[in-house]
Amino acid sequence: MGQLLSGLWGVWQAGRAAAYGIIAGVAVSQPASRRATPTTSEKVANAPLSVVAFNSSIATPTPTSSSSSSSTATTPSTTTTTTTMPSQPQPSQGTTTPSAAPSTSAPSTSTSTSASKPAKQQSSKQAPKPKDNASSAPAGSSDSAALTPAELKKKAKAEKAARRARERADREQPGAAGGAPGTPSAKKGAAGPGAGGKDSAATTGAQQQQQKGQKQAPRRGSAQLSGQPSAAEVKKKQEEKNVSVFGHLYGQQRRTTVAGAGKEVHPAVLALGLQMRDYVVCGSSARCVATLLAFKRVIEAYTTPLGTSLARHLTTHLSHQITYLSTCRPLSISQGNAIRALKLAIASIDPSVPEADAKATLSDFIDSFIREKITVADQVIAGSAAQKIQDGDVVVTFAGSSIVKQTLLTAHKQGKKFRVSIIDSRPLFEGKNLARTLATAGLDVQYSLMNGISHAIKDATKVFLGAHAMTSNGRLYSRVGTALVAMSAKERAGGVEVPVIVCCETVKFTDRVALDSIVVNEIADADELVIAEPVQQLTGLPDPAAPAVELKKGKAAPPPVEPSTASQNMSSPLKDWKDSANLQLLNIMYDVTPAEYVDMVVTEMGSLPPSAVPIVHRMSTNL
Amino acid sequence: MPSSSVALTPGLASFLKSLKTNPIDTSIDDLISLLKRRQIRHSRSCATATAYLLRSVISACRTSDANKLIERVQYVGRRVMAAQPREMVVGNIVRRVLGLIRDEAEDDREADFTLSDAGSESQPQTPRILDDISESLSARHDGSDRSSRQPFTSLSAPPISMFSLLSHPEPESSLPGTPASASPSGRLPSQIHNKDIRAEVLDGINEIIDELGQVDDQIAAYALDHIHSNEIILTHTSSTTVQKFLLKAAAKRKFTVIHAESYPNNHEATHATVSGQTPDDDELLSTEAFQKPLIALGITVILIPDSAVFALMSRVNKVILGTHSVLANGGLVAAAGTRVIARAAKVHQTPVVVVSGVYKLSPVYPFDFDSLIEYGDASKVIGYEDGDLVDQIDVQNPLYDYVPAESIDLYITNLGGHAPSYLYRIVSDHYRKEDINV
């Protein structure tokens, strides 16, 4: 009995370590990439790096579990299964478990060659290939060929049911975590302690992250700290925290880990999803390009299963990737447009074309789409928008649009003398990167936050804005706060209106219409608004050592749940906003600027009034 | 009033404490340095400190000559105002005290006059015609008083004019310090010497101090006239006046409050106000620290970043704003970001209500708006972690915005609701022309 308990203890420890690995992996990838100036290309180039981080986090369970359970090596088989449970989507499948192993070998090669484009391709080729071998040799050929359609359907149904059950278990975890790690009953019992361990590890990890000023942590952490409510209570509580006007937008919470992702999802897409969730890849065009590049790798790694054609099956295969991406963060308009174009291209492939040729065609299509719709379009837009800037201008811009940045840099290169005033907002502070880039390039930059709008606009001569999308009724759908800037430009006290120029690729045009910012919007995690003080980063230095210490201490004194550290006490008054009734935090991502505030939309097809958006959109989609 | 808290950090509480013990010149220097260092920030704290300081200045001034008193107050006032020229409340209080002295001096002269010449009824009234218009209630009150004391006042005119000085509508005349009850009793013994202006001025200052203490509650009394059920109200910054206003309404009605956080200068206080955690800002007087938050009264409070104001404005019924100071033209100087909010409200045809005590109302006409704006700590915008960036770019952190009168629909002061265009009347009621330039 004692042996069994200690064995379970080892399991629990290992589970903790596994969850740690995941969170640490994300944590590592976050600050590094957030500090980096994310131009479109750079952002994309980041992808393989954090694939590495993600892969290595998967790899961690194996060594840690063996080390921690070395003293009590009683049930090695259970340790491995339970450690892989939280991180691996489908441990029972057998196809994914081997796939993880080869993909972990990729990091060493891709890190050494850094994050350049060839490296990316290299890793992309390397990672999926063994998987193909592994999956197609034992399972792929025999399994899917032998099964009748009815059986396939049944299998899919079973998978779905299993996934649902797991999701439910996930939700119940907070409640289960409090219980003692024991009483194993069939399969769920095995998952219980693992899940519990993972969860408490997530809590400690969350605390750590809170100190480090990371987001994403409080989601689980705070939910757990507030007693051990049942799943229903949690849900109710969640709903109470939703702003009722925006109730339709809450939907599902953003995915926090890659756990539970379908086995079809390509590692590159997995990583991209997390990056998009954490705003590492942020901005409409950047997300679009990154998605297309990831899909290119998906297509490269894709083999058509027997019995279907590429044109038919690839679309469904891609839709798995798309579903995963949209659970990480709702898709942008540009992403949607790009995906639509890609699906159209796939559907138009002749089934008789050999697979290799078809894949090459699609790769070419993606490349040319990126080039035509975004890369070259950006250059054209930057060129024509830069012409609008004259010597002595004071250009006001909001947040950090990549196309506006390019425009300003182009104008600067043309030798124009002008000043830039950047207005920025919480919580993303995208303007900071823009300010840094422009200042480094030698421009005269002034920076203020939302409270300084009326001062910044006072001596402005032009306003340049980026766009998330342009709606068919000519309204600008862009980062929240844009409308305020455009409004201040138009309603200036002096009576002299400042021209508002929007730079926008036509790929961001949509046939949707919007009247207000409430019907269509995106809700981000409200915890992002809770200010994590950067000072704590300095004071909380013992962090790196903490896990090691805790692991040792943990053996002596079980459940080491220390909810608060000294530094947490001085955190913001919003820290436990989820526990105070009636208090809601709202963190919307976009707002809609009325068409009358926009004087001109600069696109790659020319400079248009906002009323021309639907026509251009029709033209560009019908082509 | 707030002598309870043990204030270690320099601020209003420590100043008021030291005022009793320190010699007057030290206190003046003390306040000047506090203002200069912005250790007294809130406009009400500034007003309170100034009023207390002037009270001790006058009580320390061993003269009964009105001109000397005026000179002394002017001298001190100029110095204190120069310490923080953008804190107009300081000037307002100085002007009101000067007005008190002048009124007293005039009354004395008139009293001398009426003593010799058996008092015509109209003459003592001349200085108070202006006041009567705005405050019918107190005027009626005064009138009844006067008629009842007619034989007595004909002997000594000053009590009549005293009412005009201290006239603030205080329906509950039982309250201590209200003009109706306090001033005659305080006045009666002093008129025997007939010359002691100082005592009367001190009484007047005490009433100003009382007014400062009660002003938020008086404003809050109007809350139910302006907030209806199920309303969605947007506010900005952590103004205690606004909070009290909303709390008063929350006791009776259910509504929703959207609170813009006013990052980066006031967000901490806003977050504290919203979540009901006691702000560790010792400038706020102790009574407010124990105030219940709105959420405790069942009011849904939605905290939003400032950028989301436009997006949500279409849902908002009313914008209620606090202010830093109000100018005679109906414009106001308020926390940075207010102007955009008021503009956005205007665009959406949402009424903008400003709640402000009369003491914030300044007789200054703004000709140069930029001179009203104070710029704050840039490190709040970009922290020192980004030191390399700060070196390269020009970071701005304005503390205040000038909001033009057109953006405001209604002012609610402790005297009631006014249109912005009416404010100049209230200005002329409260300040004398001679004192507009101290």
Do the Cβ atoms of B301 and A584 come within 8 Å? yes
For B305, the closest of A243, A436, A529 (CB atoms) is A529
pLDDT tens digits, A597-614:
999 999 999 999 999 999
The complex's ipTM?
Answer: 0.78
Do the Cβ atoms of A451 and B306 come within 8 Å? yes
Q: Does B133 touch chain A (CB under 8 A)?
A: no
Report pLDDT for B127: 43
Report pLDDT for A17: 41
Rounded mean pLDDT, B250-276? 87
This prediction's pTM: 0.70
Report pLDDT for A217: 39
Report pLDDT for B226: 92
Distance in Å, alpha carbon of B5 to nearest chain A alpha carbon:
22
Closest CA in chain A for residue B232? A245
Do the Cβ atoms of A487 and B347 come within 8 Å? yes
Closest CA in chain A for residue B378? A448
For A452, the closest of B315, B336, B343 (CB atoms) is B336
Where are the domains positioned within chain A? 1-128+189-222+531-558+571-584, 379-519+589-622
Report pLDDT for B188: 45
Mutate to test the interface with A, among B310, B347, B394, B401 (most CBs of A within 10 A): B310
Do the Cβ atoms of A583 and B306 come within 8 Å? no
Report pLDDT for B198: 84
Report pLDDT for A409: 94
Thinking of the domain B221-435, which architecture would CATH place it in?
3-Layer(aba) Sandwich (3.40)
Do the Cβ atoms of A452 and B396 come within 8 Å? yes
Report pLDDT for B269: 84
Mutate to test the interface with B, among A250, A449, A451 (most CBs of B within 10 A): A451
Q: Which residues of B touch A396 (CB under 8 A)?
A: none
Q: Does B3 touch chain A (CB under 8 A)?
A: no
- Asked if residue B165 lies in contact with residue B138, where contact means CB atoms within 8 angstroms, the answer is no
Binding-face residues of B in 350-409 toward A, CB within 8 A: 373, 381-383, 385-386, 389, 392-398, 401, 404
pLDDT tens digits, B167-177:
554 444 444 44
Closest CA in chain A for residue B254? A582
Q: Does B324 touch chain A (CB under 8 A)?
A: no
Phi, psi of B239 (to 5 degrees): -65, 130
pLDDT at position B372 over 90? no
Distances (CA, A) of B206 to A606, B363, B436: 70, 22, 22
Please choose, from the candidates B69, B3, B76, B71, the residue with its C-alpha nearest in 3D space to the C-alpha of residue B35: B76
Q: Which residues of A touch B259 (CB under 8 A)?
A: none
Do the Cβ atoms of B268 and A573 come within 8 Å? yes
Binding-face residues of B in 165-184 toward A, CB within 8 A: none
Q: What angle do CA B430, B432, B436 make, to 5 degrees?
A: 105
Closest CA in chain A for residue B338? A451
Q: Which residues of B touch A465 (CB under 8 A)?
A: none
Number of neighbouring beta carbons within 10 Å of residue B189: 10
Low-confidence ranges of chain A (pLDDT < 70): 1-152, 167-230, 493-494, 532-572, 623
Q: Can you give chain B as a three-state secondary structure string? A: CCCCCCCCCCCHHHHHHHHHHCCHHHHHHHHHHHHHCCCCCCHHHHHHHHHHHHHHHHHHCCCCCHHHHHHHHHHHHHHHHHHCCCCHHHHHHHHHHHHHHHHHHHHHHHHHHHHHCCCCCHHHHHHHHHHHHHCHHHHHHHHHHHHHCHHHHHHCCHHHHHHHHCCCCCCCCCCCCCHHHHHHHHHHHHHHHCCCHHHHHHHHHHHHHHHHHHHHHHHHCCHHHHCCCCCEEEEECCCHHHHHHHHHHHCCCCCEEEEECCCCCCHHHHHHHHHCCCCCCCCCCHHHHCCCCHHHHCCEEEEECHHHHHHHHCCCCEEEECCCEECCCCCEEEECCHHHHHHHHHHCCCCEEEECCHHHECCCCCCCHHHHCCECCHHHCCCHHHHHHHHHCEECCECEEEECHHHCCEEEECCEEECHHHHHHHHHHHCCHHHCCC
Tell which wins on pLDDT, B241 or B41: B241
Where are the domains positioned within chain B? 12-214, 221-435
Q: Which residues of A touch B305 (CB under 8 A)?
A: 425-427, 450, 480, 529, 587
CA distance A388 to A407: 10
Q: Does B272 touch chain A (CB under 8 A)?
A: yes
Whether domain A379-519+589-622 has CATH 3.40.50.10470: the reply is: yes
Q: Does B299 touch chain A (CB under 8 A)?
A: yes
